[in-house]
Structure 1
Amino acid sequence: MVLFNYIIMCLIFGTTFLAIKVGIDAGAPPFFSAGIRFFLAGVILFVFMVWRGKASLSLLLKKEMFLTGFALTFGVFATLYWAEQYLSSGIAAVLSATAPLMILLLQTTITRKSLPAISWIGCLVGLAGVILMLLPGLTITFSSVWLMGCATVLFGQVFYSVGTVYSRSVIQRFQDSSPIALNAAQMIYGGALLLILSLFTENVHVQSMGTPSAIISLVYLIFVGSMMGHTIFYWLVAKTNPVFPATWLYISPLIALSLGVMFYHEPLSVMSLVGGITIIIGIVLINLSNLKQLLVKKQNVMGNVSHHR
């Protein structure tokens, strides 16, 4: 059941980038569609958790929910949705995979602990991958807007890294609340902030949101991408550990890259593909020690099961 849910989660997270692209190409305003997605998903999930007695309405009054919502939903997805107006979904997905690199650098800055050599190598490999991915836009057909889109996605991962590091302390502080409820609360705040941004920056027309592609994209992202995907993620955290579910970052970007090329005919240069794979290799090297611990734990569990048989 764990492996099945893990595969489903990777597929879901791998398809959300293309779903965002489909909605934006259909004319949906990026900030408004992102805001509606997360606000509705957050409200539905939060009401469900309150109904089940696993969350309290007072949770919405905590400043921690606003701060995590600002970083993890508003900061990350305002930049991603805006950038996907100018980038392919696959490129956006792979650039988003740089998040663990930024988390590592942030944690190192905060704790002032020296990194293992393999982690530094992973950082350099990941950086090389980003450069390789950006090269086609710099040399083949220079596009300042395309480069700005890439830079915006990378900037969004700074919000993700700050939010992730901060949310770990928030989860410890609110141990009586379900992580799913905490995630729902921050999505409500993040979605509301995105809608406020849309109010001041976009002209929202019913016609643009009412096209079949825009509606299907939004419904999919609300119920499958935000609600189902994140619920499975936290279920896996509870059943395994925080490291294992996070390995979706090694798999889902490549799924997104493949889906964009196969089903949406997105262009992909050989250099960008090599850059994408290089980024993933760098991320694996950064997290090599965690992955080794994960494998050891898995072998120990399998050994205990065999012993009891």
Structure 2
Amino acid sequence: MVVVNYLLMCLIFGTTFLAIKIGVDAGVPPFFSAGLRFFIAGLLLFSFMVWRRKTTITLFFWKEMFFTGIGLTFGTFATLYWAEQYVTSGIAAILSATGPMMIMLIQTFVLKQRGSRTAIIGCVVGVIGVTLLILPSFSIVINPYWMIGCIAIIIGEVFYASGTIYTKHVIQTFQTVSPIALNAAQMMHGGILLLILSFFTENIEFESIITKSSIGSLIYLIIFGSMVGHSLYYWLVTKTNPVFPSTWLYISPLIAVVLGVIYYHEYFSWLTGIGALTIIVGTLLVNFETLRGLLRGKSSHIQDVEKLAE
């Protein structure tokens, strides 16, 4: 079940960078678009869980939901959406692939946790692979906004890594609460913060919101990118560790290239193939211990919790 959900999450998230780019290029203000996406998705999921009596409304008002929302939703996606006005979705995917490395760095140097040498090497290999994969697909014109956009995405990944690590604490605090309900509550908080930021910084024009591209992008991101994808991500964090689910960031550029070749007849070079292979190797190295435990069936805690979740 863990492997199946991981692959499904990778497939969904692999398309979200392009979906975000389509919405931003259609003229929808980035903060408003991100806020609307996450608030609606979170509200729908949270309402469903309350209706099914899997959680209560009081969950939304716990401070842990607010802090998780700042890390996983507000900080990560405020920077990503804004940056995709100036950088391509491919470059955004490359820079977002620094997420697992950020987690490793925070755990090692801030939390003083000893990291596996194999996992650290895997992070480095994965980032190299993503770079090789995307390198033939774009040309970079250096300008100030391009540089600021790149830096913004990296800052967003610091938020992302911090939120992912903090999620472990939240799950331990709310052990009886469904991960889907926890995810929904944090998305609502992040969405509200994004909408507040949009209110003070953006000029929203109704005409740009009702185009086919903007509506299609928003619906896809709400249903698949947020409600399905982020729920799977949150679930995987509870079953494995903070690093394992975040390695989808290595797979997403591969999916983007495949879609480009199939639907847009984009060029596929030998360098792209080497990059794809390097990504797979890096992902395996990062998750070597976790995957070995799953394959040998020695991770009894993961299996017990998974049975309860089902």
TM-score (norm 2): 0.81
CA offset at residue 20 of structure 1? 0.6
Alignment of 1:67-78 (within 5 A): 67-78=67-78
Taking a change above 3 Å as real, the CA distance of residues 41 and 124 of structure 1, as seen in their structure-2 partners, is closer
Once the two structures are superposed, the pairs formed by residues 160-239 of structure 1 within 5 Å of their partners are 160-233=160-233
Change (3 A) 1:270 1:71: farther
CA distance in 2: counterparts of 1:74 and 1:284, whole angstroms? 30
State the Cα distance separating 1:297 from its structure 2 match: 2.8
**2:86 and 2:271 mapped to 1: Cα distance?**
19
Residues 126, 281 of structure 2: 8 Å contact kept: yes
Deviation at 1:104, TM superposition (A): 1.0
Q: State how far apart, in whole Å, the 2-side matches of 1:195 and 1:266 are.
A: 36
Partner residue in 2 for 1:35: 35
Q: CA deviation at 1:42?
A: 0.5
DSSP 3-state at the match of 1:142: coil
| Pairwise CA RMSD | 3.4
Give 1:153's aligned residue: 153
The alpha-carbon deviation at position 155 of structure 1 amounts to: 1.3
What secondary structure does 2:118 align onto? helix
Which residue does the alignment assign to 1:303?
none
Residues 84-106 of structure 1 deviation map (CA, whole Å, 9 limit, x = unaligned): 11222222123212211111111
1:31-82 Cα deviation digits (max 9, x unpaired): 0000000000001100100000011111111111111101110000001111
CA offsets 1:103-133 (integer angstroms, 9 cap, x no match): 1111112442443433343354456568879
Separation of aligned partners in 1, 2:283 and 2:143: 27
Q: Deviations over 1:237-285 (max 9, x none)?
A: 77x6457655534423321344356656889999898778756654543
Write out per-residue CA displacement over residues 121-147 of structure 1, whole angstroms, 9 at most, x where no aligned residue. 3354456568879999xx964333223
Which structure 2 residues correspond to residues 98-137 of structure 1 after superposition, within 5 A? 98-125=98-125
- Residue of structure 2 equivalent to 1:46: 46
Q: Distance in 2 between matches of 1:133 and 1:231?
A: 28
Q: Structure 1 59/92 Cα, relative in aligned 2: closer, same or farther at 3 Å?
A: same
Displacement of 1:21 = 0.7
The one-letter code matched in structure 2 to 1:76 is T
| Counterpart residue number, 1:83 | 83
Separation in 2 of the partners of 1:6 and 1:221? 18
Which runs of 5 or more structure 2 residues have no equivalent in the other structure? 301-310
Whether the aligned pair in 1 keeps the contact of 2:251 and 2:279 (CA below 8 Å) is no
| Separation in 1, partners of 2:195, 2:92 | 22
Are residues 91 and 131 of structure 1, via their aligned partners in 2, closer, same or farther at CA, if it must alter by over 3 Å?
Answer: closer
Distance (whole Å) between structure 2 residues aligned to residue 171 and residue 299 of structure 1: 18
Q: Distance in 1 between matches of 2:269 and 2:27?
A: 26
Q: Distance in 1 between matches of 2:98 and 2:125?
A: 11
Percentage of identical aligned residues = 59
For residues 157-209 of structure 1, the C-alpha deviation after alignment (integer angstroms, 9 at most, x for no partner) is 10011011111101110112111111100000100000011111110000011
8 Å contact kept, 1:261–1:267: yes
Q: 2:288 maps to what in 1?
A: 288
In the aligned structure 1, how far is the partner of 2:218 from the partner of 2:143? 29
Matches of 1:19 and 1:283, distance apart in 2: 24
Three-state SS of the structure 1 residue aligned to 2:85 is coil
The letter of the residue matching 2:58 is S
- The aligned amino acid for 1:80 is L
**In structure 1, distance between residues paired with 2:105 and 2:160:** 13
In structure 1, list runs of 5 or more residues that go unmatched: 301-309
- Whole-angstrom distance in 2 between the partners of 1:269 and 1:87: 22
* Conserved? CA contact 2:104–2:120, under 8 Å: no
Moved more, 163-172 or 279-288: 279-288
Aligned residue pair count = 298
**How many angstroms apart in 1 are the aligned matches of 2:53 and 2:96?**
35
Structure 2 residue aligned with 1:13 = 13
